[in-house]
Structure 1
Amino acid sequence: MRNLLAGPAVFAAVLLLAPAPAHAAVAAPCIAKSGSDATETRADSSVDDGEIRWTASTKYKAEYAHANRAWSYPGARIRIAPDAATTVNDLNYEDFSDPRSAAAGVWSRRPGPAATDLIRFNKARMDTYDPATRRMVAAHELGHALGLCHKSGSGKNAVSSVMWPDVAQYPDAPTDVDKANLKKLWG
């Protein structure tokens, strides 16, 4: 009996059935025209020596834990880890409550030697959101701490990104576009 799974014809058939190589996602531009959110720079991030060491004093533990895991995807160049006695704290998650503020979360850069940047969750907004939306907010703010700017979620240049500027039904983890932007920034 002849082996039907050998020879050049089978090899050619396998090549024809193989999926086309995936196209690499392209980094998306910032949508802001001025200010710190108009560019993506290493200096405008919480990253120190290739990592973010964090502490937390927030009620949104599940949300920041999700964000930390989401941005620690395989191949990510920036390490995100809890602060330890022998490390410098780069970022603190904390809460505030301001019903007049439309912001659900805010990342704040605090320049200066050994200054700790902040991701602050607005309880007045976060408490009105479902768990998925709270995870989106946490992942978005950690994206800012990594140095990323806002991306377009509408119009002809729309991209799928956790970095859309408004709370909406956007992804709760970095998309291929977000990963491309992070790679462009950090290698």
Structure 2
Amino acid sequence: MDGREITWDDETRFDDARRYATRVWTSKSLKQVKIRPDDARSWADVEWQDVTSTGPTWHKVYGRWAARRSTDVIQLNRAYLESGKPLGADVHRRRVAAHELGHALGFCHKSLSHDSLMWEYYSDIKAGKIDGPTSQDIKDYHRLWG
């Protein structure tokens, strides 16, 4: 992240989910951090990628954010999120993408004591029907970003 801006490079077939994640983290009062595509004058802060794996490190892992020295990576797992797969619907892809973008914004996993898009397990987010930042997530955002 450069100051209060995240630029991204698009390498995912789930563009709708990426657009949704950007929209929910920049709507209403969440304007302190700009999230936009990179261009010829910028270096991508986050690269969106697809992975297709159910192996040991990806068993029931639908998405993953990884901090890197230069460009962070958000990976969405096609093995679960592709159409026809267990979570192959827009609602699931959008939730996973929004959760992972939350990590890029600086948020860690939250305890179950408050509703949060940043709960560690997707099954909890799904059961809570959490589709974007909750009131607690918004408070945390403003605590971190003003």
Question: Structure 2 length normalisation: TM-score?
Answer: 0.87
Segment drifting more, 142-151 vs 97-106:
97-106
Q: Paired residue for 1:178, among 116, 125, 137?
A: 137
CA contact (8 A) 1:106 1:121 kept: yes
User: Partner of 1:164: helix, strand, or coil?
Assistant: coil
* Match of residue 4 from structure 2: 50
Whose Rg is larger? 1
* Match of residue 71 from structure 1: 25
Question: Structure 1 length normalisation: TM-score?
Answer: 0.68
User: Partner of 2:122: helix, strand, or coil?
Assistant: coil
Deviation of 1:83 after TM superposition, in Å, equals 0.7
CA contact (8 A) 1:89 1:116 kept: yes
User: Partner of 1:93: helix, strand, or coil?
Assistant: strand
Once superposed, which parts of structure 1, at least 4 consecutive aligned residues long, lie more than 2 Å away? none
Once the two structures are aligned, what percentage of the paired residues are identical?
A: 37
Deviation of 1:185 after TM superposition, in Å, equals 1.1
Match status 1:139 vs 2:98: yes
* Match of residue 63 from structure 2: 105
Distance in 1 of aligned mates of 2:3 and 2:41? 14
* Match of residue 33 from structure 1: none
Q: Show structure 1 runs of 5+ residues with no match.
A: 1-46
Aligned length: 134
* Match of residue 85 from structure 1: 40
User: Partner of 2:102: helix, strand, or coil?
Assistant: helix
Deviation of 1:75 after TM superposition, in Å, equals 2.5
Distance in 1 of aligned mates of 2:96 and 2:29? 23
Match status 1:149 vs 2:103: no
> What do you get for the CA RMSD once the two structures are aligned?
1.2
Q: Show structure 2 runs of 5+ residues with no match.
A: none
Q: Paired residue for 2:115, among 156, 160, 166?
A: 160
Task: Flag the structure with higher strand content.
Answer: 2
Distance in 2 of aligned mates of 1:51 and 1:179? 18
CA contact (8 A) 1:66 1:135 kept: yes
Match status 1:96 vs 2:54: no
Task: Flag the structure with higher helix content.
Answer: 2
1:40-98 deviation per Cα after TM superposition (whole angstroms, max 9, x unaligned): xxxxxxx2110100111111111011000110112321111111111221011110111
Q: Which residue type is aligned with residue 134 of structure 2?
A: T
